[in-house]
């Protein structure tokens, strides 16, 4: 495997490991009912914007083509604003198991969008790898302990999760050429600034009326993790990894999230290691390897 491809794999794997832990924290934050999804998203956008703009001071200057500002704004809407906002809203309306199941559709959507917009071929190995990992992750979901989330899933929650998955898959499949054109820091500092501007009309009232002093200390730490690691660090790693591996393979790493959640549950004593979980994890890894060996995954 090429050195650059390894960079891509490690970056995306690290990002989705962070997201796996974040899934647990987001449920805790939502269940605390101390902060709305709109306000939480805006806090993420503020934190990430400040961090990326501060980091850009120490990186080489890079000019954005005038015609690309609108494209970056569109990428921000499709890849940041819609996926994050719909997820934060959906976890209050869906059970944990339904959230996990609908989330498995992402790589399938991404494979289709990458074919339509980038001409990434749907080979037998790629389709087989996606199917193998899909089967493995469903097997894991149905053989794991699931706590948190709503007692029952509402139809609106399902719609929000589908929009979440479709939107981020479209982002991976459509905007790869734009992402590859600029440095990660330059691209993300503008992306989060645009997402912040988009979020303010729906969150400004909540920001003013939120009693931040009443937020429990453990929830504050979880919000801090959400802003720094699951937003700033993870969204640095994803576009960086996208420069080296293809969209379908990037999205395959989303299957790490339920595995990480299962590991955390086992570590916390909420679940136990079993042959079903070992088999499911092996199927997921095998599917990722199969997709990685298919044609059209090397950087152009």
Tokens coding 218? 């453990």
29/149 Cα distance (integer angstroms):
11
Backbone angles phi, psi at 149, to 5 degrees: 80, 180
Average pLDDT for residues 266-292, to the nearest whole number? 80
CB 1 within 8 A of CB 44: no
Q: Residue 125: what pLDDT? A: 86
Helix (H, G, I), strand (E, B) or coil at 105: coil
Q: Is a pLDDT exceeding 90 seen at residue 225?
A: yes
The DSSP secondary-structure symbol of 104 reads T
CB 230 within 8 A of CB 51: no
Stated as kind and residue range, the H or E segment containing 107 is helix 106-118
Q: What is the pLDDT of residues 30-82, one digit of tens each?
A: 878 899 999 999 999 999 999 999 999 999 999 999 999 999 999 999 999 99
Q: What is the pLDDT of residues 173-206, one digit of tens each?
A: 999 999 999 999 999 999 999 999 999 999 999 9
Q: Is a pLDDT exceeding 70 seen at residue 94?
A: yes
Q: Residue 299: what pLDDT? A: 38
Domain residues of the chain, as ranges? 3-292
CA distances in angstroms from 294 to 201, 240, 248, listed in the order given: 44, 21, 11
Tokens coding 172? 């991976």
The DSSP secondary-structure symbol of 228 reads I
CB 79 within 8 A of CB 167: yes
């Amino acid at each position: 495997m090429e050195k650059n491809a390894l960079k891509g794999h490690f970056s995306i794997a690290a990002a989705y490991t962070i997201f796996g832990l974040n899934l647990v924290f987001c449920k805790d934050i939502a269940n605390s009912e101390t902060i709305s999804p709109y306000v939480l998203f805006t806090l993420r956008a503020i934190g990430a914007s400040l961090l990326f703009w501060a980091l850009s001071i120490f990186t080489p200057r890079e000019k954005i083509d005038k015609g690309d500002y609108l494209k970056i704004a569109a990428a921000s809407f499709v890849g940041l604003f819609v996926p994050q906002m719909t997820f934060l809203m959906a976890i209050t309306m869906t059970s944990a198991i339904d959230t996990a199941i609908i989330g498995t559709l992402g790589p399938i959507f991404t494979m289709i969008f990458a074919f339509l917009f980038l001409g990434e071929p749907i080979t037998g190995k790629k389709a087989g790898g996606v199917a193998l990992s899909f089967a493995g992750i469903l097997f894991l979901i149905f053989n794991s302990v699931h706590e948190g989330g709503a007692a029952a899933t509402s139809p609106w929650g399902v719609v929000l999760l589908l929009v979440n998955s479709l939107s981020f898959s479209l982002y991976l499949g459509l905007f790869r050429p734009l992402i590859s054109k600029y440095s990660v820091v330059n691209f993300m500092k503008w992306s989060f600034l645009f997402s912040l501007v988009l979020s303010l009309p729906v969150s400004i009232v909540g920001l003013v009326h939120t009693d931040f002093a009443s937020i429990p200390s453990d929830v504050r730490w979880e919000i801090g993790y959400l802003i720094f690691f699951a937003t700033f660090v993870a969204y640095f790693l994803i576009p960086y990894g996208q420069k080296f591996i293809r969209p379908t393979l990037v999205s395959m790493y989303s299957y790490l999230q339920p595995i990480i959640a299962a590991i955390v549950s086992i570590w916390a004593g909420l679940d136990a290691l079993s042959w079903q979980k070992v088999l499911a994890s092996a199927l997921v890894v095998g599917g990722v390897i199969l997709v990685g060996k298919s044609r059209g995954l090397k950087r152009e």
